[in-house]
Amino acid sequence: MSSPTAITPAVPQPSKALAATEAGNYFVSNYPPYAYWREEMVPEVARVLDGDPRPDIPLGVYFHIPFCRKRCHFCYFRVYTDKNADEIKRYVRAGMQEFEMYARRSYLRGRKPRFIYFGGGTPSYLSVPQLEELTRQMKDLLPWDEIEEVTFECEPGTLTEKKLDAIRAMGVTRLSLGVENFDDHILEINGRAHRSKEIERAYRHARSIGFPQINIDLIAGMVEETEENWKVCIEKARALEPDCLTIYQMEVPYNTGIFKTMQEEGRLVAPVADWPTKRRWVSEAFASFEQDGYEISSAYTIVKNKATTKFVYRDGLFSGADLLPLGVASFGHLGGVHLQNNADISAYCDAIESGQHAIFRAYVTDPGERLIREFILQLKLGSVQPSYYQAKFGVDVRSTFASQLAWLAHEGFLVPDGAVDEIKLTRDGLLQVDRLLHEFFLPHHRGGRYT
């Protein structure tokens, strides 16, 4: 393949570090950004699906469950809080119809998923009978006998002992609890539905029934969060001893309740901690858990044991695995083609029930874009191995990205004396990696929105 030599930012230059938390989305979840995906590329998905199966490429399945008890003020995902039981049944049924349509296509014939991810929204919003029927149908369509990981996102207040028992019996191996904060006032003012007592109750029962991995999500810099509150949150999280802790730094994307309030009040700066404070809080949290023997596994995660605590979904996504997207607004990647479903639940269900696909935009990647995608996503893990890209893409990334790497080194974001086959970020670089990754984008992809 040809090297993407067109990536030539003006470097080195003084780093323009973000300070105040202003409106916008900085988290890099894919490449190219979604703003460049197009409806006219949707037919390319059919070309892939009608092609020969690729058993050499790991396969994952993502199912979006878009229902919530409340919409968090910082949420930018496609969620609904006003759907009745019949509408929810219709949606789940449509999701399985969509899965069945995919399972018949030649590209997926004979393949078995390595990982499953139930995301939201709130997957744990569904009832026990719905969850049991949902997973039974999924296993009938693509057997789970080669599954390495099944991740299930939960809101603590939706979990009863009976529901947790059912989730474990479904085959879930990685339970992810959306805790975000342990303070009831912070939870309330940020629009969270659960409260602190529900966190403790759900976690204790989940631990008692033997989930192989329990992850806790926290958010640094929520509205009205203080230094003292953050310290208390970290100590409470440490007391639970989760297998994995994921910490996000608060953003204010444009389609959130917080941004709407900002517009109404005529202010451009959100009432949350600034970026240097959020980075420091995450760094302090990481350091506290490191004292307990935990290890950093990405810019957002710290795990009890890297050898046993994996995140197969993340690692598959970062290394070019096929990801089959099911449900409203969900996105995936098949045979080098990105795709995303319709973002309206009614339009999504109507399309599936009529026997049509629900894809509304796609993007056909070229080899250079796939190289960039894997390089920047894997850099979020803290380090990459140049030999990996040489073997897979036939490219020397130290040469291809020489100017960007020189800039990172100049700014103190790269470890100067790393291993021979390693490009490694410093702790400071890791904690602000998402804003740094844009330097690796092709020039015409810079500035593209993710939400």
265 pLDDT exceeds 80?
no
Residue 450, pLDDT score: 61
pLDDT given for residue 266 in this prediction: 66
> Given a cut of 80, is residue 267 above it in pLDDT?
no
Sign of CA dihedral 2, 442, 388, 52: negative
* Distance in angstroms (rounded) separating the CA atoms of residues 173 and 169: 10
The average pLDDT across 392-401 equals: 97
Confidence grade of residue 72 (pLDDT, cut at 50, 70, 90): confident
Q: What is the mean pLDDT of residues 227-246?
A: 98
Residue 2 has pLDDT above 70, yes or no: no
The whole-angstrom separation of Cα 409 and Cα 412 is: 5
Domains and CATH numbers, the chain: 34-316 (3.80.30.20)
Q: Greater confidence, 18 or 417?
A: 417
Task: Name the band, by pLDDT with cuts 50, 70 and 90, for residue 334.
Answer: very high
CB burial readout 351-365, b (16+ within 10 A) else e: bbeeeebbbbbbbbb
Per-residue confidence (pLDDT) for residue 262, from 0 to 100: 77
Strands (E) in 222-358, as ranges, are 244-249, 295-296, 301-303, 322-326, 331-334, 337-341
Mean per-residue pLDDT for 416-428?
90
Q: What does the pLDDT read at residue 268?
A: 54
Give the number of other CB atoms < 10 A from CB of residue 141.
16
pLDDT of residue 259: 82
pLDDT value of position 44: 98
Buried/exposed 58-74: b ≥16 CB within 10 Å, e otherwise: bbbbbbbbbbbeebbbb
Exposed, middle or buried, 450 (CB in 10 Å: 0-12/13-18/19+)? middle
The pLDDT value given to residue 112: 96
pLDDT at residue 260, rounded to an integer: 81
- Per-residue pLDDT averaged across 252-278, rounded? 79
Assess whether pLDDT exceeds 50 at residue 7. Answer: no
The length of the chain is 451
pLDDT tens across 193-232, in order?
A: 999 999 999 999 999 999 999 999 999 999 999 999 999 9
Average pLDDT over residues 90-117: 97
* Rg of the chain over all Cα atoms, to the nearest angstrom: 21
- Average of per-residue pLDDT across 393-421: 94
Written as one letter, the residue type at 253 is P
pLDDT digits (tens, 9 = 90+) for 157-182: 999 999 999 999 999 999 999 999 99
Question: What pLDDT does residue 163 have?
Answer: 98
| Angle ∠(277,259,339) on CA atoms, nearest 5 | 95
Q: What is the pLDDT of residue 25?
A: 78
Residues 377-391: what's their mean pLDDT?
A: 98
Confidence of residue 419 (pLDDT cuts 50, 70, 90): confident
What integer best gives the mean pLDDT of the chain? 92
Q: Is the pLDDT of residue 16 over 80?
A: no
Which ranges in 241-331 belong to alpha helices (H)? 257-265, 275-291, 312-318
Q: Record the pTM.
A: 0.94
Q: What per-residue confidence (pLDDT) applies to 13?
A: 44
Q: Around Cβ 304, how many Cβ atoms within 10 Å?
A: 17
pLDDT for res 8? 44
Confidence of residue 264 (pLDDT cuts 50, 70, 90): confident
